[in-house]
Amino acid sequence: MKTFQIKNKVFVYSVLFFLVLGGLLIAIPNRSFTIIDRLSSYVLDVFGQLYLFTGLFILCFLILLALSPIGKIQLGTSKPKYSTISWLAMMYSTGMGAGIILRAVQEPVYFSQHPGVNIKGSEETHALMMTFYHWGFTAWAFYGLFSLFIAYLLFVKNKNIQLSHLIPHIKNKKINNSIDLITVITIVFGVVSAAALGVSQIESGITYATDTSFNFSLILCICTTVFLAAIISSVRGLSKGIKNLSLINISLTLVLMFYVLLFSDQTSIFLSMIEAIKDLVTNFFSLSLAFSPYDFSKEFLSDWTYYYWAFWLAWAPFTGIFIARISEGRSIRELITGVLLIPSLGSFIWFSVFGDSAFQLISKGAVEINAFNDVFTSIFVFLQQYPFGSVSVILALVLLVGFLITSIDSAIYVLGMFSNLKSIHPSRLHKITWSLGLFVITLGFLVLGQTGRAENTLEAVQKILVISSLFFLFLCFIFILFFMIDVINRYRNNEYQKGM
């Protein structure tokens, strides 16, 4: 009972925090945004280079761990509950989700027109390489690190998902609660950010497809529908809800991708992807540390790489907990390999198909050079250029809704585990409570957006993610240290027992 009360404190404190923050945003939105903007700018200015180093360090650490004898350690004694395809589908749907629709066209085209440095080769190859870099190995390394930590806690040490348990020598309840409180806050902001941006893109897609301007009632309808579907999926459980949704999402993703591939130059796409992957591997360390010839300006790094690394790190606790939960029975080596390679390759293929096809449309003069500048409508403008464009736009909208439901569903599940920590299977009451809470917070930001501060409101949520991720930036090294001490001792004891 005592443990449950401690978790409830974390739950109560997080609710109070959001009530206070929400009140400040509503009462003094401009002043609140100014403070948030200054804090996030300070974090990126002072610790930006540390973000780069940390990303590279974590990736190298995971690769070495997977190749070492420690990689053979099983995460639990039971067999994997989900097939490899279902496991990878749930992982990718939760980890990237609607973001790959949002950036599918806009980001590669942007980097082809604004490379950030003087390049000697093809602008298009450079653009794909930069997109691969932001959405590939390092992004999934952040997710992989936390999924490994939490899977180890759950299935090897038989602890609950509290990240404070990664530092076993801390006996101070206030410190433990602070670690877990910031984890919950970070998860909620990550989900609210994705939900608000996702709803905004769906609304933009419907507006573009119908060529009609709607009022706030459409946003309210979209938000309500998405959260209602997420609640239904969450109540149905992990196996029936998130699993089925993830498989549907991946299937629709493949349909959309092959549709674009069918009407594009497949040879150009394949060669561009191979060339971009080769450049990424060849220049990975220079990119990861912003060394020559990729010594980007601080402004460029703050707008892109610093922000991406902070964002992936901020999402790592949420995504890591979910990946850990579905990875029971797999080895450390299998978990790391699955997290790093397959999703990264999926992103490379996805962005190659859409990015190179967009380059083809621009080079042929089918669209204006600035046709894909708007991040919310770029994918719809792109799809409209192909046969049956209206049908593909509808498919993209359905896919957006599916990815958004999956992300919210996963967050409900993870947050339910935090507030119902006597079991890794949260009750319906906790799921519904978190569902309603996330809905109200998301709707609150969207309502604020209708007062003329939409860009500031959504930007503020993203900037808060940058601020909250700083906490995990330093904790990563502490977690790695204690994890290695425990896992080495456990491995040596097991080897010793085998020798006896």
Q: 136 falls in which pLDDT band (50, 70, 90)? A: very high
* Residue 461 · residue 192 · CB < 8 Å: yes
Mean pLDDT of 369-386: 92
Say how many C-beta atoms besides its own lie within 10 A of residue 46's C-beta.
10
Cβ neighbours of residue 310 closer than 8 Å, sequence gap 6 or more: 43, 44, 51, 465, 466, 469, 470
CATH assignment at residue 76? 1.20.1740
Question: 336 falls in which pLDDT band (50, 70, 90)?
Answer: very high
Q: How many domains does the chain have?
A: 1
C-alpha closest to that of 287 among 145, 119, 147, 122:
119
Q: Are 151 and 324 in contact (CB under 8 A)?
A: yes
pLDDT classification of 404: cutoffs 50, 70, 90: confident
Give the residue numbers spanning the domain of 141. 2-499
Which pLDDT score is estimated for 78? Answer: 86
The reported pLDDT for the residue numbered 169 is 67
pLDDT tier, 460 (very low <50, low <70, confident <90, very high otherwise): low
DSSP string, 365-426: TSS-TTTT--TTTHHHHHHTTSTTHHHHHHHHHHHHHHHHHHHHHHHHHHHHHHHSTT-SS-
pLDDT interval class at 451 (50, 70, 90) = low
Question: Which among 280, 273, 336 is positioned nearest to 65, based on CA atoms?
Answer: 336
Residue 74: strand pairing partners: 331
8 has pLDDT over 70: no
Q: What's the chain's average pLDDT?
A: 84
* Rg of the chain (C-alpha set): 22
pLDDT at 318: 79
Which 3 state secondary structure label does DSSP give 430? helix
Inter-residue contact 238 to 413 (CB < 8 Å) = yes
pLDDT of residue 52: 94
For 177-218, the pLDDT digits (tens) are 788 888 888 788 778 877 888 888 898 899 888 888 777 788
Is the distance from CB of 156 to CB of 328 less than 8 angstroms?
no
Nearest to 342 by CA among 156, 167, 86: 86
> Of 445 and 432, which is predicted with more confidence?
432
d(CA 232, CA 431) in angstroms, rounded, equals 10
63-77, 88-102, 229-243: which range is least confident on average? 229-243
Q: Is the separation of the CB atoms in 315 and 61 below 8 Å?
A: no
What is the pTM (predicted TM-score) of this model? Answer: 0.89
Residue 273: burial class (beta carbons within 10 Å; 0-12, 13-18, 19+): buried
Q: What are phi and psi of 13, to 5 degrees?
A: -65, -40
pLDDT of 319 over the 50 cut: yes
Higher-pLDDT residue of 84, 362: 362
DSSP sequence for 195-233: HHHHHHHHHHHHHHHHT----HHHHHHHHHHHHHHHHHH
**For residues 268 and 34, which has the higher predicted lDDT (pLDDT)?**
268
Q: How big is the chain, counted in residues?
A: 500
pLDDT score at 3: 43
